[in-house]
């Protein structure tokens, strides 16, 4: 069907998705403190992917180092990430939503936008919740908005397993006094930059002169943050299948890499994994990237466009190892990442982008 604007946008978000999938397989975990992350070992340098509401009540959150989460919730059950299981469950959910006859724009494993023409969007939301629960035994929350921004933010007020409507009519009543970090797209760094201008709440942001935001964030992002404060955004829902532009793999090492030989071996392994990902799509690679995090926590990125797009593992390996020649030889390496960007199906040629130069 393609992109289309709707009078209502519904944001469907599965509740504690990864944990919920694990509970389906192990019902005895229901109501327990459960954390999913990495390989399930808090001694490793991995992070929390998600946590049950019981664990969240103790301060455990996504992106938190697993070892920190284990200290906050010492009685929690910690499970490894099972990508295949979550991908299968997600596919079942999205197929169920499409079966409702709505336009579905998939955002990730556990969330999607639905386009809605109905006069009673709450009824559509309840129908979506019931269909997903019946088909998958998974609960979801639904945010209803007159655009994507408001629908996405509304979902948080509906959790767990609820429904909430957020529109231009109640935007400032609901959001006006809330901190800017509660907005979708505003993280800790941006909220601090806003606070430096005395902008602490959503209402403050909405009332801020556009010139102030443009001076701080540039013309594009400054204008976008101003609109965000007022809850403005697109109501276009697009069900066009998503096509990956690239694939990346990265590993945080249990013990720092200390020699060039260790780094090269690790990079060869990562390139082989990325190559397998791109080969599964049958598209050549036109650019490779390298990410290096030195101990204790200092990250550098560099990328390079290939002279000719390729599907050769040997050529990709050589290109990544050439990028690695710019690494600082005397520093221990904590993390390595490799990215391969592919020629898009409808591209006659890949788009040029300026690579990052200098030492990594």
The domain spanning residue 120 has which CATH number?
3.30.70.270
Q: Is residue 111 flagged as an active site residue?
A: yes
347 in a structural domain: no
Q: Do residues 215 and 272 both lie within one domain?
A: no
Instruction: List the chain residues with pLDDT less than 50.
Output: 348-359
Query: Cβ–Cβ contacts within 10 Å for residue 157, how many?
Result: 15
Instruction: Report long-range pairs for 164-170 (Cβ below 8 Å, ≥24 apart).
Output: 165/121, 165/122, 166/231, 168/231
Contact present, 290 and 271 (Cβ < 8 Å): no
Q: Do residues 75 and 159 both lie within one domain?
A: yes
Residue among 28, 111, 250, 261 flagged as catalytic: 111
349 in a structural domain: no
pLDDT of residue 37: 92
Query: Cβ–Cβ contacts within 10 Å for residue 314, how many?
Result: 10
19 in a structural domain: yes
122 in a structural domain: yes
Residue identified by tokens 């921004």 is: 149
Q: Do residues 156 and 179 both lie within one domain?
A: no
Helix, strand, coil shares of the chain, percent, nearest 5, are: 40, 25, 35
Domain of residue 268 covers: 246-342
Q: Do residues 103 and 144 both lie within one domain?
A: yes
Q: Do residues 119 and 86 both lie within one domain?
A: yes
The CATH number of whichever domain residue 305 belongs to comes to: 3.30.1490.100
Overall domain count for the chain = 3
Report CA-CA distances (Å) from 142 to 10, 102, 158, 160, 179. Answer: 6, 14, 7, 9, 22
Report CA-CA distances (Å) from 8 to 12, 236, 357. Answer: 13, 10, 45
Q: Do residues 190 and 94 both lie within one domain?
A: no
Q: Looking only at Cα atoms, what is the longest distance across the chain?
A: 65
The CA distance from 236 to 2, in Å, is: 10
Q: Do residues 163 and 65 both lie within one domain?
A: yes
Q: Do residues 4 and 146 both lie within one domain?
A: yes
Q: Do residues 155 and 33 both lie within one domain?
A: yes
**Residues 6+ away with beta carbon under 8 Å from 10:** 102, 113, 114, 115, 116, 121, 124, 125, 128, 142, 143, 144, 145, 151
């Amino acid at each position: 069907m393609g992109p289309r604007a709707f009078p209502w946008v519904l944001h469907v978000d599965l509740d504690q998705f990864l944990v919920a999938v694990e509970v389906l397989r192990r019902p005895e975990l229901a109501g327990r403190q459960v954390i999913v992350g990495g390989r399930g070992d808090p001694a490793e340098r991995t992070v929390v992917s998600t946590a049950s509401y019981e664990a969240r009540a103790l301060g455990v959150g996504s992106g938190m180092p697993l070892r920190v989460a284990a200290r906050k919730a010492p009685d929690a059950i910690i499970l490894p990430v099972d990508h295949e299981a979550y991908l299968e469950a997600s596919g079942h959910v999205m197929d169920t939503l499409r079966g409702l006859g709505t336009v579905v724009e998939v955002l990730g494993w556990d969330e999607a936008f639905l386009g809605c023409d109905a006069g009673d969007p709450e009824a559509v939301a309840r129908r979506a919740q019931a269909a997903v629960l019946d088909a998958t035994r998974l609960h979801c929350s639904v945010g209803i908005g007159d655009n994507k921004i408001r629908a996405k933010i509304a979902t948080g007020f509906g959790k767990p397993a609820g429904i909430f409507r957020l529109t231009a009519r109640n935007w400032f009543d609901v959001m006006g006094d809330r901190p800017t970090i509660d907005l979708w797209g505003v993280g800790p760094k941006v909220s601090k930059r806003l606070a430096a201008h005395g902008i602490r709440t959503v209402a403050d942001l909405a009332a801020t002169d556009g010139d102030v935001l443009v001076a701080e964030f540039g013309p594009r992002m400054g204008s976008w943050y101003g609109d965000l404060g007022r809850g403005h955004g697109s109501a276009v829902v697009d069900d066009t299948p998503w096509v990956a532009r690239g694939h990346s793999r990265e590993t945080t090492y249990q013990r720092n890499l200390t020699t060039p030989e260790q780094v090269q071996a690790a990079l060869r392994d990562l390139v082989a994994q990325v190559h397998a990902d791109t080969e599964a799509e049958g598209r050549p690679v036109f650019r490779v990237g390298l990410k290096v995090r030195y101990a204790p926590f200092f990250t550098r990125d560099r990328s390079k466009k290939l002279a000719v797009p390729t599907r050769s593992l040997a050529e990709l390996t050589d290109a990544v190892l050439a990028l690695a020649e710019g690494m600082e030889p005397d520093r221990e390496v904590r993390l390595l990442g490799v990215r391969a960007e592919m020629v898009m199906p409808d591209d006659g040629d890949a788009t040029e982008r300026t690579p990052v130069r200098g030492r990594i």
